[in-house]
Chain A
Amino acid sequence: NAGVTQTPKFQVLKTGQSMTLQCAQDMNHEYMSWYRQDPGMGLRLIHYSVGAGITDQGEVPNGYNVSRSTTEDFPLRLLSAAPSQTSVYFCASSYYRGPVNTEAFFGQGTRLTVV
């Protein structure tokens, strides 16, 4: 089983460049989310989605866009990369309308450096 697949694993961008981090899951999960991990900050929620066509902002949404056209895919877009967006990014998915003990399944992470 593939689970949650994130690409790329590593990326270096120049300031002002744009890119899309890809996330796909094959578990038919309604809920998908993006986190960024910075030293001493834990995992902070950027955006999340509870189903196709529905997205919402998390704790740190500025500088990021998302869309959810299918259940499987939840890409994260950086329109104009800034050094402050240097971080490790995780995509996660889980069931939504179910018991609260639904664990989140994580992708392997994307290490992004903006120079």
Chain B
Amino acid sequence: AQKITQTQPGMFVQEKEAVTLDCTYDTSDPSYGLFWYKQPSSGEMIFLIYQGSYDQQNATEGRYSLNFQKARKSANLVISASQLGDSAMYFCAMREKIGGATNKLIFGTGTLLAVQP
């Protein structure tokens, strides 16, 4: 069964520094996708970055990159040059592909990031 684990309930980082948010997953399917979402205090869910199980390179989107270690089943989000606006809850999520169709999206418990000036 799908499972996503985020072991860091909260993190602090100084402005302009890099921060890594941890995510491990468990799945028996070889085809899956990993996602990171940001939820600011206003409450909306914002898609940040995606990594596919067959992707050879780590995904990057601007200041966001995903440190994908398939053998360890980890997909950590790295935010470079943190900004005050990065303060938010961050969720890791996974979707499996089963029987030719994408399956449900499962979320971790989230990490609350606070960027300090």
Q: Write the residues of chain A forming the contact surface with B, with a CB cutoff of 8 angstroms.
A: 31, 33, 35, 40-45, 48, 50, 58, 88, 90, 92, 94-106, 108-109
Contact = CB atoms under 8 A, between A and B. Distances in A.
B104 A101 contact: no
Interface of B: 4, 6, 9, 31-33, 35, 43-45, 47, 50, 52-53, 91, 93, 95-97, 100-102, 104-110
Contact of B33 (A33, A42, A58, A101): A101
Contacts of B106: 45
Given A100-B95, A101-B33, A108-B44, A92 B105 contact: yes
A102 B94 CA distance: 11
Given A90-B45, A97-B102, 16 more contacts: A42-B108, A42-B109, A42-B110, A43-B91, A43-B107, A45-B105, A48-B104, A58-B104, A92-B105, A94-B102, A100-B31, A101-B50, A102-B95, A102-B102, A105-B47, A108-B43
9 contacts: A31-B102, A42-B107, A43-B93, A44-B107, A50-B101, A92-B45, A94-B102, A103-B35, A105-B47
Contacts of B96: 100
Nearest to B96: A100
Given A42-B91, A100-B95, A33 B43 contact: no
Given A88-B43, A106-B45, A45 B104 contact: yes
Given A101-B52, A103-B47, A40 B9 contact: yes
Contacts of A94: 102, 105
A91 to B, nearest CB: 10
Contact of B52 (A88, A97, A98, A100): A100
B100 A100 contact: no
Q: Tell me which of B9, B35, B107 has the highest count of chain A C-beta atoms within 10 A of its own C-beta.
A: B107
Given A101-B33, A103-B47, A108-B44, A35 B52 contact: no
A62 B44 CA distance: 25
